[in-house]
Structure 1
Amino acid sequence: MTSQAVDHVALLPLYAAAATAILALLADLFAGRRAVTITATLLGALATGVTALAVGPWDPTFCVPGGCSWVPSWPAAVTAALFAGLTAGVLALSVPALRLGTAPAGEFCFLLACSMTGGVTVAYAGDLLTLIVGLETLTLPLYVLVGLRRFAPGERTTTDAASASVTFFLISVISTAIALLGIALNYAATGAVHLALLGPAPAPFAALAGVGAALLVIGLSFKVAAVPLHAWAPATYDGAPVPIAAYLSTASKLGGVLALAAVAARLDTSVVVAVLAVLTMTVGNLVALRQTRMVRLLAWSSMAQAGYILAALALGAPGVPAALAYAVFLMVLELIAFGVVVALRPAAADGGTLDDFRGAARRHPWLGAALVLALAGLAGLPPGLAGLFAKVSVVEALVAEGWIWLAGVVVVNAVIALAYYVRVGALLYAPGAPVARPVARPVAAALVATTIVAVVLGFAPQLLLGAF
């Protein structure tokens, strides 16, 4: 038996994320003040992102001949920093509700930091088992965070939050079981779990490996709310606190995209992923056309956006850079959209109906402009240049690899999506402005920072594309 050396420098981002969760608990235990707990968690999240970028590409650790379980690289560092940034942004959006006592700050911050730790693990995972462990660590705290919401007087009952949490949990358990079965079948056929060792199975086991790869992709598709494991998303988003819905639509979805990209780049899953892409973007866009609640519309829109990412992943390794870049652009734009919803609604309230946002831009012009920027980006139109470059990168990758028909499906769905994006944008400037409300400073700071990032990426997308 040989001992295995552990490179602790490579693990520093994970240590920082885990320390943030512990720090949140200790701050709540010894200080007992909400502001101290939130500030400690926020600083820990920012330190995690800085640590990931400072370590950058490093020697992998937990290695066996041919593969490693922890693989630091620039894409891993960028995505780990993005997980940390999303955590900090969602925490800032949650401050007004936490001040009202809608959830205990200590538990809230601890669970959010634990979820961030799972995201960092996914970013650096070098084998399928570490990937699954990271995804579950990312997702498990969210079951509780979704159900933590207590509604203010006049809002809907807590049954919605409990139902959303249970639905999310049950479908997640089923999807994880499917993914684990896929890993087991693939291991039986190839004897490999490390990503570097994945590849075609020997001829006698090719069919078994194909079934395993298909089941693995279907199980992981839950994380991005892809068809057929998509029904949980609208109810869960709408029943959760709006900032947690934002986290589900950004960080949780990013984890799923990373996992799918790792599998699609190494296994022959093009047919399955292409079918999932077409169904996901089409169902998402068509159902979004009929939505009357803001968060449900954003949920179905987010599902359609995941379909575009899957379209790039159908190409296998050649489509991974475009898919990951699209995912990052999407995370930034989604956080802006949900952040504006938080800013325009009363603290701790749900996302409201579309009519609740009628004329909002007349009283809050800057917030209206930010939401229009996010919607334009999601639609792939100027001035949302980040979203425009994201869609162009996916279509270019599909055309370059000869997948003209799938590129056409992406374009058609993008045109369909214009209907509901334009409808929401028009409502913001329609007559009948709602009562103006002050915007909490943490929410405003998060929105300003995220909007700046979106604008920078829009004008200099090569900064992101170069990382992948």
Structure 2
Amino acid sequence: MSSQAVGHFALIPLYMAAGTAILALLADLFTGRRAVTAGVTLLGTLATAAGALLTNGADPTFCAAGGCSWIPSGAAATTAVLFAGLTAGVLAFSLPALRLGVAPAGEFCFLLACSMTGGVTVAYAGDLITLIVGLETLTLPLYVLVGLRRFAPGERVSTAPAAASVTFFLISVVSTAIALLGVALNYAATGAVHLALLGPAPAPFAPIAGVGAALLVIGLAFKVAAVPLHAWAPATYDGAPVPVAAYLSTASKLGGVLALAAVVSRLDTRAVVILLAILTMTIGNLVALRQSRMVRLLAWSSIAQAGYILAALALGEPGVVAALAYAAFFVVLELIAFGVVVSLRRPGADGGAIDDYRGAARRRPWLGAALVLALAGLAGLPPGLAGLFAKLSVVDALVDANWTWLAGIVVLNAVIALAYYVRVSAALYTVPARVGLSVADPALVNAAVNPRLPVPRPVAVTLVAAVAVAVALGFAPQLLFDALS
């Protein structure tokens, strides 16, 4: 293929994702029916996943100066399918709230599809500019989604969504500026922006390139909520609608992992990534021990999980497959955890306190089992085999590289994390005291202890599908490793 030609076949996943956003907007404009808008968006996510699988192995496009900006590969197709699946899952979790008019369906679906478009772009990006543009396209709609809420007449107006949105926006702007400065310094030192051309700078410019690479990694670390750019995550997750928090914790984090993997596999950023990994997993786990609110605990847990991923990325190219596999296992388990929280809350409510979930598994056994499966997987224990293999893949990669000391830190942090995962799991099966019921949120008490309150069908179907994927990955993890290799 000549450098001037555009390979439209390779761009099919991008066309499908962007087309989904446009069709969602048009469906809302011309029909005004929530079901039609949501249905179009759901079909668009399926078309995006199908397009990614169809174009797997296609020729790269937008090629010039020795590199290409759009590179189809097995890893790109797999992660694009993940982005589409996560978008569909979050949309399903949001449908009960959208039916009540908590948020405008057209705008919600359009923004969610735009964010998916950014994720697909990150998956296929072959240069730093496309990578940054994709990340910003993934993130920008989330600023609005975090604060997108209508309050019913007589309902108490909360400033939490707006505060969460502003916090997310401000810190994201700073991190993007840091990342772009890193790109500029690296380009000044090496003259390269294509990922295939990244490498050591000539001797006189090596210090500039080193600073640029470090700034780039620190800026991208925001997307995975790594220390020191982590403080936004708990406040934003807890202030956002729970389904949007699920998207932040899964799709947004997956985009950050892909971007970091593309950079650290080609630039020498070992020292910075090791420091970020140790601080992120340790601080995340220690602060999670003190949390009393469910979504905040999941937020700090996801910060700690990012530390494990960074530990694998510290190896550079040898650790990329292990890191991507861990991220894939993690987002599926995290989606299950947030899905159970959505199921046990009234539509549009926040995540509540951990004590509000006491006894939930006694009345809703299958929801309790799903949450325990997710928490066990995040802890790296059976029956969460997907999480167990994810932890083992990181530890095994570190040991093979003779980084036993870092593998030991990963294992130690995993042991610390058991404390809060076990605490939440135990609460699900603890009978709540009657005095506790009298002061708890009545809507949550009904959801947690009333066996007749049904789980909305879209939420139930999505949860069952996510659990099935998690179980399948647990029994056949090599399929995922092969797809990402």
SS in 1 for 2:68: strand
2:404 equivalent to 1:400: no
> Does residue 19 of structure 2 align to residue 12 of structure 1?
no
- The answer to whether the Cα contact below 8 Å between 2:3 and 2:64 also exists between their aligned partners in 1 is no
The answer to whether the 8 Å contact 2:128/2:193 transfers is yes
Q: 2:478 aligns with which of 452, 458, 462?
A: 462
Query: 1:66 deviation in Å?
Result: 1.6
Matched, 1:430 2:430: yes
Q: Secondary structure at the match of 1:5?
A: coil
Distance 2:52 2:116 in 1: 13
Shift of 1:378: 0.1
Deviation at 1:57, TM superposition (A): 1.3
Q: Distance in 1 between matches of 2:350 and 2:429?
A: 21
Deviations 1:383-405 (A, max 9, x none): 00000000000000000001111
Equivalent residue for 1:322?
A: 322
Match of 1:416 in 2: 416
Counterpart position of 1:440: 456
Q: Is the 8 A contact 1:16 1:47 kept in 2?
A: yes
| 1:451 and 2:460 are equivalent in the alignment | no
TM-score by length of 1: 0.98
Q: Deviations over 1:114-169 (max 9, x none)?
A: 00000000000000000000000000000000001346799874210000000000
Q: Which residue of 2 aligns with 1:76?
A: 76
Please tell me whether the aligned partners of residues 284 and 303 of structure 1 are also in contact (alpha carbons under 8 angstroms). Answer: yes
Provide the residue aligned with 1:35 in structure 2: 35
Name the residue aligned to 2:336: 336
CA deviation vs aligned residue, 1:414-454 (integer Å, no higher than 9, x gap)? 00000000000000000126334310000001000010000
TM-score with structure 2 length normalisation?
Answer: 0.95
| Mapped contact 2:165–2:236 kept (Cα < 8 A) | yes
Q: Does 1:270 align with 2:270?
A: yes
Equivalence map 1:138-177=2 (5 Å): 138-150=138-150, 157-177=157-177
Distance 1:188 1:280 in 2: 30
Aligned residue for 2:358? 358
Change (3 A) 1:390 1:235: same
Matching residue's letter, 2:212: G
Which residue is equivalent to 2:190?
190
- Kindly indicate whether the alpha-carbon contact (under 8 Å) linking 1:189 and 1:208 is maintained by their aligned counterparts in 2: yes
Contact 2:250–2:334, Cα closer than 8 Å, also in 1 = yes
Query: Matched residues in 1 for 2:312 and 2:153: separation?
Result: 45
Q: Could you tell me which amino acid in structure 2 is paired with residue 441 of structure 1?
A: R
Query: Which moves more between the two structures, 133-142 or 59-68?
Result: 59-68
In the alignment, the residues of structure 2 paired with residue 151 and residue 119 of structure 1 have an alpha-carbon distance, to the nearest angstrom, of 30
Evaluate the alpha carbon distance shift between residue 218 and residue 359 of structure 1 in structure 2; reply closer, same or farther with a 3 A threshold: same
1:317-372 deviation per Cα after TM superposition (whole angstroms, max 9, x unaligned): 00000000000000000000000000011111000000111010011100000000
Secondary structure of 2:449's aligned partner: coil
CA distance in 2 between counterparts of 1:89 and 1:60 reads 30
Report the identity percentage: 81
Amino acid at match of 1:345: R
SS of match in other structure, 1:219:
helix
| Secondary structure, counterpart of 1:349 in structure 2 | coil
Question: Contact 2:3–2:62 at 8 Å: present in 1 too?
Answer: no
Q: How does 1:30-69 map to 2 (within 5 A)?
A: 30-69=30-69
Partner secondary structure for residue 417 of structure 2? helix
Distance, in Å, in 2 between the alignment partners of 1:318 and 1:336 is 30
Would you say 1:288 and 2:304 are equivalent positions? Answer: no
CA contact (8 A) 2:364 2:449 kept: no
Contact 1:150 1:158 in 2 (8 A): no
Question: Cα deviation per residue 1:252-276 (whole Å; 9 max; x = unaligned)?
Answer: 0000000000000000001100000
Q: What is the identity, as a one-letter code, of the residue corresponding to 1:451?
A: V
The one-character-per-residue Cα deviations of 1:91-125 (angstroms, maximum 9, x if unpaired) are 00000000010010000000000000000000000
